[in-house]
Amino acid sequence: MLVLFQGWQSFFPDRVESARRPLAETLYQRLTGTVLPAFLATRRWFAAKNQRIESVAIEQHVLWKGKEEWLLARVQVALAGGKTQTYSLPLALAWEKEGEEPLHAVRPDTLAKVRRRARMGLLYDAFADESFCQSLVEAMGRNARIPVDGGVLRFSSTAAFASLAGDDPAQLPVRRLAVESSNTTLLFGERLFLKGYRRLQWGINPELEMGRFLTDVSPFDHVVPLAGALEYEDTTKGTTATLALLQGFVANQGDAWNYTLDILRRLLEECALRPDTDPKALLTTVHGAYLTGMQTLGQRTGELHRALAKVTGDPAFDPEPISPEDLHTWNQQVCAEVAQTLELLAQQQIHLPQALRIQAEQLLAGRDKVLARIQTLQPVTVEALKTRYHGDYHLGQVLVAKNDFILVDFEGEPGRTLKERRHKHSPLRDVAGMLRSFNYAAYTALHQATNEQSASVALLEPFARNWERQTREVFLAGYVGAIQGCPVYPQDSPTAQTLLELFVLEKAFYELRYELANRPDWVHVPLGGLYELLVEDNG
């Protein structure tokens, strides 16, 4: 129980008169020493669940008055080993009213019970407060500014805000999505989607930057339009952190990853029942609509890259020629990441199942051949431009909307810094990411089918591989048809294929490194993909 005597000021000793300062110091110590560590450790969005919290401090705070009053806090978490992480944590206070049910039964995300004299209440995460969320949207619409020590909280809106938000966005009902991840997500009626960033990173947010470009500067209809944002600008250091992003809500039937797995599940069930059927004919006749859709997805991908190739005078987006130095740097970066991945694989191969251990040993034994092959994938010159691109493109980043697709989540690869995610590169990296996603889908579905059915891998794997080949073909046909003639695409087809092969290998090694570090149960997918690309293809 936290005992308050002056509302929000009670938490901060420097905000109360000297007579009450000892009480405020005790309250602050309980809040930062007990309440916040316990709360953070249980949040899905807390990025250090497996690390010990050494201390928590409220690094910065500001009282914000909208329909009510909230505390916008920036919290610094010190972890064992000397590392620190910074989080955005808006807080709300609610007080029980006579005759109403206890607040603990209706308020999610509670940090602690509070008391002020005889009055009981709760301290809780303000994202659970509808009024707070509505006030965020309203402040974005009027481009509000809130001065804070050493900086400013900057609300902003795009030209699309009015049409997306409607006449009275502050009255839209708020629904928090049940699925939590590294962010907090909310729906406002059927009009708006808000993403509240929790762990803060300093620098220009690529998702916000790309959203502004594709909404206001070079509009592209097949991305979710940006409506507004909330950023903190540190005027003393000249840096920025994004706290929230507001987008238009797009009705959809789910993401293309789950859609694809459902198609594959049904396909493999049919293949198990009709094993003598020609796999290509079966996919074409039974699931031809899916192939048509993947060709459309390739087309949308090419159209996205065309939109990002628009010359606007903005140095952050204007295309630049791919130089021989770029080609050398890209190749060396892939070699370095391959070496890093193989080192990690060597350390962890003993923990892999026997079948995977054999694949790992063969991949490790072929290390020099792998690096030599990558060296052959460096063209002397490329007549094409480098641009901004999606950066983490796969089936999970695509929404199925009727018979078409909406491309989402332009944050870039989570394992790279914000600065790295904003670098210009060949957009063929996005194409490589989607091709790898088809491989992920094929082997995920195969794994599920052989676990749940009596059919063997030997029976169903040829069908899964054929599905992947056909899907790749139609996707690439749609992409090349849309991008052909655009200066970002190499006009020499062999050169384009060489670069694409390099980026596919780069992505596969990134995936293996990611799974080894984060999801060991998924290692079989990228490891099998690399084995197929590097070992089987070379006998």
Same domain, residue pair 393 and 516: yes
Same domain, residue pair 100 and 157: no
Q: Which range marks the domain in which residue 196 is found?
A: 132-248
| pLDDT score at 1 | 79
Same domain, residue pair 234 and 302: no
Tokens linked to 253? 């039937």
DSSP 3-state of 503 = helix
Same domain, residue pair 234 and 331: no
Tokens linked to 266? 């049904």
Same domain, residue pair 232 and 308: no
Same domain, residue pair 142 and 122: no
Task: Judge contact between 317 and 213, C-beta under 8 A.
Answer: yes
Q: Which of 195, 231, 255 is nearest to 45 (CA)?
A: 195
Same domain, residue pair 118 and 157: no
Same domain, residue pair 70 and 208: no
Domain termination site, one of 110, 126, 142: 126
**CA–CA separation, 188 and 75 (whole Å):** 27
For β-strands 151-157 and 145-148, DSSP reports them as antiparallel
Same domain, residue pair 158 and 113: no
pLDDT in tens, 281-335: 777 777 789 999 999 999 999 999 999 999 999 999 999 999 999 999 999 999 9
Task: Judge contact between 413 and 421, C-beta under 8 A.
Answer: yes
| pLDDT score at 539 | 45
Same domain, residue pair 321 and 235: no
Query: What's the angle, vertex CA 19, arms to CA 17 and CA 21, rounded to 5?
Result: 70
Question: With a cut of 70, which residues of the chain have pLDDT below it?
Answer: 102-107, 179-180, 452-455, 535-539
Same domain, residue pair 271 and 375: yes
Q: What is the pTM of this model?
A: 0.89
Domain termination site, one of 188, 216, 248: 248
**CA–CA separation, 74 and 82 (whole Å):** 19
Provide the percentage of residues in the chain whose pLDDT is more than 70.
Answer: 96
Q: Cβ of 142: how many Cβ atoms within 10 Å? A: 10
Please state whether 7 falls in left (phi above 0), alpha (psi between -120 and 50) or beta.
left
**CA–CA separation, 504 and 537 (whole Å):** 14
Domain termination site, one of 229, 248, 267: 248
| pLDDT score at 104 | 65
Same domain, residue pair 121 and 139: no
DSSP 3-state of 44 = coil
| pLDDT score at 101 | 73
